[in-house]
Amino acid sequence: MVQPGEPAGPRAVVDTEGHARAGYGVDGDALVLVRPDGYIGRFASPGTAEELDEYLRLLAG
């Protein structure tokens, strides 16, 4: 999980300017999973890496 001020991996997007946060009306921390087709697959505010792992496990069946 990328923390503020840490480098992100090549596939991570960090909204340092807060555009997505403002556009979605998010206060505080949020976790957004964007699918390869550009659609949002999961949105959690706040969200944790553990919750995301569980979500992905459920999808995998």
What tens digit of pLDDT does each residue of 25-61 get?
Answer: 888 778 888 888 888 888 888 878 788 888 888 888 8
Q: Is residue 14 within 8 Å of 21, Cβ to Cβ?
A: no
Q: Is residue 13 classed exposed, middle or buried when 0-12, 13-18 and 19+ CB atoms within 10 A define those classes?
A: exposed
pTM of the model: 0.56
Residues with Cβ < 8 Å from 27, sequence gap 6 or more?
Answer: 45
What's the pLDDT at 21? 80
The H or E element that residue 33 is part of is: strand 31-34
Query: What's the pLDDT band for 4 if we cut at 50, 70, 90?
Result: low
